[in-house]
Chains A and B, each alone.
Chain A
Amino acid sequence: MKQIYLDHNASAPLKAEVLERMLPYLTQHHGNPSSIHWAGRAVCGALETAREQLASLINADPAEIVFTSGGSESNNFVLKGTAEVLAQTGRHIITTAVEHPAVLEACQFLEKRGWRVSYLPVDGRGQLDLNHLENLISAQTALISVMWANNETGGLFPIEAIGQIARRHNVIFHTDMVQAIGRVLVDVKQATLDLASISGHKFGAPKGVGALYVRSGTLLEPLVHGGHQERNRRGGTSNVASIIGLGAASYIAQRDFEQNCFYLGRLRTRLEEGLFSAIKGLHLNGAVDTGNRLLNTLNLSFEGVSGESLLLNLDMKGIAASSGSACSSGTLEPSHVIAALGVDPLLAQSSIRFSLGVENNSDEIDYVLRELPPLIDRLRKMNKTA
């Protein structure tokens, strides 16, 4: 059976070039980078090179990069670490209704401990009202956390404008930029960011590694205590091979950025235009303006079809896409993001996300364009007779 992977926002494949860079650190160099001897030194240098590579990708200083286990740890680190340090000054956080669960559930955890959290709504186009955001800021506001790119719709938020608002009011500004890395030009200085979460496996590094950008001088209590690693900001022996993979993936993302954007944009347009011309009753969810959307993401609702049935049928044809977010048992829950957009509940149940990667090609897109329209037809007919 054909296998066509269109779920890169869930996880992207490890790049061969990245694996090649990692292998010596799995097979030969086993030292602990914190050790003073030759074995440690052999690893330590490579670790710092990786730090420089990631720093260069986002225009940060290498000392501002803290390696973590991934995006969820970085988001938890920000919320709990900031809460610990800033509890005296204020107990208010501003975030959005469409963040990743790693932000939303960490916020709910803080709410149970007496913090107040404002969840900014989005409009039907997935956009925030920045005046509303600014009006929410008070002397108690400790943190603003707004994602750069939405994992489900690909919608982009105006991070630079929000950064200026945060700076004007002297509030710490964090962005979850897990989906933006490698797909959007990211410059932490221009965006006046204080904190930014990064995940490796969304752009060609392995799973289980990520980073947090911490602007020099930003106060943050560690989430993981127990070591002087990462300048005392994150305990635990460094995940050496994966971090080196993260560095290599950063280097590649920077090197191939323009070419990737051009390629992905063309591929996504082929899919989007092909589907809209072949299928009636099709709706684009969120980020209606192409300029405000990740180049690789397409979130669609198909009238009269259940997203779950569609997803399983696509799987049977070898096409991997997604719908909502997977819960612990692997069942599908209605998406909080699509709901926040004000999409009609029935249409929300019919949503499917395609997220492309540079490994995809136009033959694969054409296969989807051949298979999907008759499938939609068949499911719609079944629903009518039921």
Chain B
Amino acid sequence: MKKRVVVAMSGGVDSSVTAALLKEQGYEVIGMTMQIWDYTSFTAENGETFGSCCSLDDVYDARRVAESLDIPFYVINFEQDFQQHVIDNFCAEYFAGRTPNPCVLCNQVLKFELLMRKALELEADYLATGHYAQILNEEGRPALFKGLDDTKDQSYFLFTLTPEQMEKTLFPLGGMSKVEVREHATRFNLKVADKAESQDICFVPDGNYVRFLEEECGTGHKNGEIIHHSGQVLGLHQGIYRYTIGQRKGLGLSWSEPLYVIGIDADNCRVIVGEKSLLSRDSFELYRCLWNIPYPDAPLKVECRIRYRHQPVAARVTPLAAGRAKIEFSASQKGVTPGQAAVFYWGERVIGGGWIV
């Protein structure tokens, strides 16, 4: 009996190659695309339609790839779930003065809970995606590892995966480089072989997240003062959600030295700015931590990554009560941003992570 696998197909190169490879390896493959956002509601100023993850054009591409592979293909409508689990959180985080990471949540809830469930309902043995990450056996249990291609590694976005989910997950591209994947795409004669990489956040195809937030939640929220960390008021701003840690542009301030956003005080609607040296931090706290190793009862030495594409740095993690943890870097780091995930590694292996307070 062939093993049945549902492939999450976005219409891009990676998930298309994933489906083609699994079919070639003898799996019974079913393609599924998550319809998560109604792109017809978004029209750019110049009237162009943006191609981005899960837009109608991409659903079309995914469908054409599935047809060329001769596999069943279904579009699953997750618009409500996406709104509830990802968009609402995205807005709430910005309005709370944090910089959210919707991709981690989307993987956690949409792909590996809801889509996984659809796959299991179809009696699939596995859910497969085109992520650059690896699931390897570690002392009898599945463990998450970085993708072999360090420039493409997406393990950061997947730190929430549970062992139960990993047992039912395949990442066929985890051991490949992007170049190899493109070669496979050409070998399989996939029409999407030359398609550009998707960029930015999929539901903000123009990259203008301020426009998005104001369309979703209206304008006029969270206006207030911009203050220097010494306490001096330097100016006014049009909403704390327009600012993120490390931001320098768009502050409109004159000061003897360049100023950067170093903090956001949501309760008082204040954006706190300071000199470059103040961007660096030696330690910070996490909440909602998850562990892929037995819960540690003593401080651990790890390498910690504080955003996607951040080079992990040596740090000490001290677990605290209520799912919190304290991180102390061996050398201070810039850009510790509340709302982003911090992920812990032991070499290539992901051992846990949490959300920056």
Contact = CB atoms under 8 A, between A and B. Distances in A.
Interface of A: 308-309, 312-313, 315-316, 328-333, 379, 382, 386
B63 A330 contact: yes
B138 interface: no
A386 B120 CA distance: 11
A242 to B, nearest CB: 26
Contacts of B123: 313, 316
Nearest to B33: A329
B56 A328 contact: yes
Nearest to B56: A329
Interface centre among B35, B72, B121, B123 (most CB of A within 10 A): B121
A315 B72 CA distance: 9
Nearest to B63: A330
Contacts, number: 38
A382 B35 CA distance: 23
Interface stretch (B74-82, B153-161, B311-319, B347-355): B74-82
B73 to A, nearest CB: 8
B77 A312 contact: no
Given A315-B72, A329-B75, A309 B121 contact: yes
Contacts of A312: 74, 118, 121-122
Contacts of B120: 382
Contacts of A313: 121-123
B117 A331 contact: no
B2 to A, nearest CB: 13
Contacts of A328: 56
B63 A379 contact: no
B75 A316 contact: no
B245 interface: no
B59 interface: yes
Contact of B75 (A315, A331, A379, A382): A331
Given A315-B72, A316-B72, A331 B121 contact: no
A182 to B, nearest CB: 31
B59 A329 contact: yes
A333 B77 contact: yes
A330 B75 contact: yes
Interface in B73-125: 74-77, 117-118, 120-123
B72 A331 contact: no
A246 B56 CA distance: 34
A117 to B, nearest CB: 23
A309 to B, nearest CB: 5
B6 to A, nearest CB: 10
B56 A309 contact: no
Given A313-B121, A379-B121, 6 more contacts: A309-B122, A329-B56, A330-B59, A331-B75, A331-B77, A333-B77
